[in-house]
Structure 1
Amino acid sequence: MSSTDFSDPTAMAQQAADFVRAQLLAPAGLDGIEVALVLGSGWNQGVDELGDEIASINLDAVPGFTKPVVAGHGGALRLARTASGKVAMVLTGRTHFYEGRGVEPVVHGVRTAAALGASTLVLTNGCGGLDPAWAPGTAVLLSDHINLTGTTPLRGATFIDMSEAYSRRLRELAREVDPTLPEGVYVQFSGPNYETPAEVRMAGVIGGNLVGMSTALETIAAREAGLEVLGISLVTNAAAGISGENLDHAEVIAAGKEAGPRLTALLQGILERI
């Protein structure tokens, strides 16, 4: 199987896991990981402070992965030992559905984490907020999501219970770090265009509080693999039509830079408890 052949996504994930195990884990005397993190837009600052580095490699060197195409994303797979002694895999970037390569590359990182033995997954993203009280820089725990991409990473008659897509236990743990964290429902659109004001209003009508272009598909794959998921969004801007201002990806990057130290402290605290 080539490094880009997703005809058998389970085998592709196993190939990536075998590579990481042989190239990065085995030299350190390790066989697998316990927790995985995907760092989205605005979340990459302070990645070196999330644990003692074991090894690191460019994402595009690992079978099935490519270099992130979005400004504000990193491009590394980093292994670290957290303050609680767990071995964590940190992906400093992700593949988005709007890149047009299909759903399998989008969830490849999640499936690779599962193949490496992870039981817990932390998914982060930058997003637009519908609640005017959530100023740019606000971190919001995900309580649920709505998938508007029109697709799924599941194949055939694969029926996965999504009643608790985002772990209540992990949300309570996150609030031990920051009791003020609000929570909301994330709505994934396909992108890459930002949502129109009418689409944002629709998202609110159907129960959404946050809008973005990632995470939901990854969560579905994670639940299929049996991973416990914690989702955290960084509100980088008010969603279209909320503030009356036009949207610009530079806002996303700027909000992430400003919130960087707080986001790092939040993730550090969570990793200490996982």
Structure 2
Amino acid sequence: MRSGTIPLHSGSIRLVSETEQPPRTTDEAKALAATAAKELLARAGADHFDAMVVLGSGLTGAADTLGSADIEFDSTELPGFHPPTADGHSPKVRSMWVGEKRVAVFMGRVHVYEGYEAIETAHAVRTGIAAGARTVVLTGSAGSLRADIAPGQPVVVRDHINLTSTSPLKGASFVDLSEAYSPRLRQIVHDADATLAEGVYVATIGPQLQTPAELQVLGQAGADVVGRSIALETIAAVEMGAEVLALAMVSNDALGAVFHPFESERALEVVEQRAPRLGSLINRVLATV
């Protein structure tokens, strides 16, 4: 899997029932998120969240170093949420404290390749923002398209290329993405760790891997890392007026996978080993915001 994301459990494709249809418009999606946010706040005993985090493939361990846990429960108990079927993702959501800031941490996500609509993949982000979060931190595993970005290295996303051929927005929502990834938050994360590289994240729909020719084209287009998330959630977050910071944890050398078989277990292991470090980094960022 050259993109570095984690494969589905065997046979775990989500089927949509006739009574469980996704929102038809952005406004409907935000209304559903507002309902979920009300329940989330009630469960957490809070009047608002200051920030929210989405943890990607293999990164659930980041929650243990991100802050002090308050309460944790299954996100599927909230309206509109579905259980992730990809390895390395948890359905749990955790209310946490980073200093005096209350943070909602979603410990997994759903993807379009699992059978969900793009508008559904942004539900956690919309819910967190509806619950008051103005800072959104997105994380995910990714394959590196650059020789100088090695596995185990977090990359600060400065821009994205959305090759999913879809959008989490439905309706006349003309969103300016010229600064989708907040320059202010990127500066804060670089102040926290000056060694971090920045790069362009390319989002593909999956679940198939990229061909050698596709990887070559992605590199020529200016992409630095490749994955299957982040971009759609970012679009939804920007549309709702939040600031976004995205961190892509490199799980494998995508170009090297052209010549050597990809080992999904090894890629997941790399990300899991680095998750605590990423959690500490996010802690330092949120403490400063």
> Partners in 2 of 1:123 and 1:89 — Cα distance?
12
Residue in 2 aligned with 1:99?
114
Q: Which one has more relative contact order, counting CA pairs under 8 Å at least 6 apart?
A: 2
Residue in 1 aligned with 2:154?
139
What amino acid maps onto 2:181 in structure 1?
Answer: Y
C-alpha offsets along residues 137-173 of structure 1, whole Å, 9 cap, x if unaligned?
A: 0110000000001111122221111010101110110
C-alpha offsets along residues 66-106 of structure 1, whole Å, 9 cap, x if unaligned?
A: 221111112211111112x1110000000111112211210
1:174-213 aligned at under 5 Å gives the runs 174-213=189-228
What amino acid maps onto 1:154 in structure 2?
Answer: L
Residue in 1 aligned with 2:69?
53
Q: Structure 1 residues 243, 193: CA separation in 2 closer, same or farther (over 3 Å shift)?
A: closer
What amino acid maps onto 2:103 in structure 1?
Answer: A
Instruction: Please state if 1:232 is matched with 2:247.
Output: yes
Q: 1:71 aligns with which of 87, 108, 119?
A: 87
What amino acid maps onto 1:117 in structure 2?
Answer: G
Using the TM superposition, name which of 52-61 and 135-144 deviates more.
52-61
Residue in 1 aligned with 2:23?
6
Residue in 1 aligned with 2:41?
21
TM-score, reference length from structure 2: 0.88
Q: 1:221 aligns with which of 236, 239, 244?
A: 236
- Equivalent residues of 1:187, 1:210 under 8 A apart: yes
- Equivalent residues of 1:114, 1:227 under 8 A apart: yes
Over the aligned positions, Cα root-mean-square deviation in angstroms equals: 1.6
TM-score, reference length from structure 1: 0.93
Unpaired runs of at least 5, structure 2: 1-18
> Partners in 1 of 2:98 and 2:128 — Cα distance?
16
SS at match of 2:95: strand
Q: Residue 63 of structure 1: CA displacement?
A: 1.1
> Partners in 1 of 2:235 and 2:43 — Cα distance?
29
Q: Residue 22 of structure 1: CA displacement?
A: 2.1
> Partners in 2 of 1:23 and 1:3 — Cα distance?
24
Q: Residue 3 of structure 1: CA displacement?
A: 7.4
What amino acid maps onto 1:186 in structure 2?
Answer: Y
Task: State percent identity of aligned pairs.
Answer: 40
SS at match of 1:183: strand
> Partners in 1 of 2:157 and 2:22 — Cα distance?
32
- Equivalent residues of 1:3, 1:63 under 8 A apart: no
> Partners in 2 of 1:256 and 1:48 — Cα distance?
15
Q: Residue 32 of structure 1: CA displacement?
A: 0.9
> Partners in 2 of 1:80 and 1:4 — Cα distance?
31
> Partners in 2 of 1:250 and 1:240 — Cα distance?
18
1:79-98 aligned at under 5 Å gives the runs 79-83=95-99, 85-98=100-113
Q: 2:177 aligns with which of 151, 162, 169?
A: 162
What amino acid maps onto 1:17 in structure 2?
Answer: A
- Equivalent residues of 1:145, 1:216 under 8 A apart: yes
Q: Residue 251 of structure 1: CA displacement?
A: 2.5
> Partners in 1 of 2:80 and 2:37 — Cα distance?
10
SS at match of 1:271: helix
SS at match of 1:166: coil
- Equivalent residues of 1:129, 1:238 under 8 A apart: yes
C-alpha offsets along residues 228-260 of structure 1, whole Å, 9 cap, x if unaligned?
A: 000100110011456622223213211112223
Instruction: Please state if 1:254 is matched with 2:269.
Output: yes
Residue in 1 aligned with 2:51?
35
- Equivalent residues of 1:38, 1:90 under 8 A apart: yes
